[in-house]
Chains A and B, each alone.
Chain A
Amino acid sequence: MSEQGSTAAASSPERGTVRVKRGLADMLKGGVIMDVVDAEQARIAEAAGAVAVMALERVPADIRADGGVARMSDPQMIDQIVEAVSIPVMAKARIGHFVEAQVLQSLGVDYVDESEVLTPADEANHIDKWRFDVPFVCGATNLGEALRRLSEGAAMIRSKGEAGTGNVVEATRHMRSITAEIRRLATMDETELYQAAKHHQAPVELIRECAETGRLPVVLFTAGGIATPADAAMMMQLGADGVFVGSGIFKSGNPDQRAQAIVEATTHFDDPEVVAKVSRGLGEAMVGIEMSELPADQQYAGRGW
């Protein structure tokens, strides 16, 4: 080891802090996180430029098609994906299923997604995420829901959209809802913020921070229905810090090319010429589902509260 220069010792390190939890999400900004079901897909995602992969047993489109109870993935499969790539690995636990989260933390996953895509395990309580060293990302359809997840310890938020539909309309609704509600806070005076906290059913300190910065206190990604480079760029223009793509890549005709195109469109989201260039000749996008054809009991966004 080189001995040149100073070799100052660090003070005792602190792990699992709010700062390193939220900080990892900061490092993912401007990037695309891709759903993968095995090591081979994880390698394709990494090669295409994904900033992280989400390990799960079935992509949401297949969860919809198969029905039944959707649970945390097999630890063996998660291990294989962790082994296969050098980028962060995320994995999903059911809403309220704190033991699935404990298992995922013990496997060394880098982020846990407490996800409405899986079948909820608790109809009243989300996981107390402060108890964990591993950071959590949670879904939200509006500002109040996002801030309630933060108050439970989430370190990153994704708008829910409607997973496995290949239809961006719900992602648009949820992104617009969150960003518009934050913009409205910015116009309020101190007194009105108390009423806003009551209205959103969220802690007033978090409401105040949104009002001052014009952003959520954590990174806000978008999810649920992103299928094309233009979808991803639209979400970025609507204020997302980055994009989750689930079924949209590996349910399409040409996954590696589409994955790369979505990465490039996310970086150059404000440059239509780049989005046009990367959108050429991608082949079949996933088929997709019109929202009016999706019965209310099969809509995932209503799970969680």
Chain B
Amino acid sequence: MSASFVPSRWVPGDRLATRRAAPSVAAGAPTIGVLALQGDVLEHLRALERCGARAVTVRRADQLAAVDGLVLPGGESTTIGKLLDRFGLRLPIRARIDAGLPVFGTCAGMILLSDELDQAVGQPLIGGLAVRTRRNAFGRQRDSFDTRLEVAGIAGGPIDVAFIRAPRVERVLRDDVEVLAAIDGHPVVVRQGALLATAFHPEVTGDDRLHAAFVASVRSAHDRGQRTIA
């Protein structure tokens, strides 16, 4: 078979980076759940493992008790929201958030964390993050894009990210919401206490710096908790 058979636009192994896991998890690593009702769960599990966390899937409310932090993955927010209600997970997750659980939401996860949507579609939200978010704010799939983005507090230059039918924050509703990055004045990375949300997908690029920052915040919250108990 001649080499020219391979199209030039196909990059060999371009997906390997997002599929590799760390070889093993160190003792005392925090346990971080990935909500696994629908969406790109695998990519988040692998990214968390590469950052030194023990990553587990969460499909039932009783699995929530075991996690020190939670990731709400990319996916279809309408689908995930409905399944959260049907399987009795939405209110238990909100209760953990109100009690200080660190949560990282990407894309659909940002939508689910938002207190408000600016479209009246009546889809179920977990809430807790004081922002008003707009779904599909950049347009349809033909408007999806790759870019590099400076994020406040993340060292090492711009982060490699993908915006896929992405939302954005239209309005910040409280003063304690920090905007860590924005595009054309619209926030796309926000943090409020233990909650972190991005409009884009850091998990599909292999650039793990946001996951590393989240794992570090879960680890310090976890260590604080351990000290309090001791």
Give residues in A with beta carbon < 8 Å to B.
1-2, 4-20, 22-24, 26-31, 46, 49-52, 86-88, 105, 108-111, 130, 133-135, 150-153, 197-198, 203-205, 208-209, 212-213, 215, 217-218, 263-264, 267-268
Contacts and interface: CB of A to CB of B under 8 A. Distances in A.
Given A13-B145, A24-B164, A267 B37 contact: yes
A32 B181 CA distance: 33
B152 A8 contact: yes
Given A50-B79, A205-B6, A24 B59 contact: no
A104 B136 CA distance: 19
Given A29-B40, A49-B83, A7 B182 contact: yes
Nearest to A6: B152
Contact of B38 (A9, A51, A88, A152): A51
A23 B201 contact: yes
Contacts of B185: 1, 7
Contacts of A217: 14-15
Given A7-B185, A14-B146, A108-B142, A2 B171 contact: yes
23 contacts: A1-B185, A2-B179, A4-B179, A6-B150, A6-B181, A11-B149, A15-B145, A18-B11, A20-B145, A23-B40, A26-B43, A26-B74, A27-B74, A28-B75, A52-B76, A110-B142, A203-B6, A208-B12, A208-B13, A209-B16, A212-B16, A263-B82, A267-B59
A52 B162 CA distance: 20
Given A2-B172, A87-B76, A108-B142, A10 B183 contact: yes
Nearest to A111: B141
Contact of B164 (A20, A134, A204): A20
Given A23-B144, A203-B5, A213-B16, A151 B10 contact: yes
Contacts of B12: 205, 208-209
Contacts, number: 202
B54 to A, nearest CB: 20
Contact of B165 (A88, A203, A267): A88
Given A14-B146, A151-B6, A267-B37, A49 B152 contact: no
B140 A110 contact: yes
Contacts of B180: 5-6
Contacts of A212: 13, 16
B83 A108 contact: no
Given A7-B185, A86-B121, A151-B6, A31 B75 contact: yes
B204 interface: yes
Contact of A18 (B5, B14, B19): B14
Interface in B55-90: 59, 74-76, 78-79, 82-83, 86-87
B226 interface: no
A197 to B, nearest CB: 7
A50 B175 CA distance: 36
Interface string B30-45: 0000001111111100
Contacts of A18: 9-11, 14
Nearest to A271: B59
B148 interface: yes
Contacts of B121: 86
Residue among A13, A30, A133 with the highest chain B CB neighbour number at 10 A: A30
Interface string B169-204: 001100101111111011100000000000001001
Given A130-B7, A209-B15, A267-B87, 11 more contacts: A7-B182, A20-B144, A27-B40, A27-B107, A27-B164, A31-B38, A86-B135, A205-B10, A205-B13, A217-B15, A264-B86
Nearest to B138: A13
Contacts of B75: 27-31, 51
Nearest to A32: B79
B38 A134 contact: no
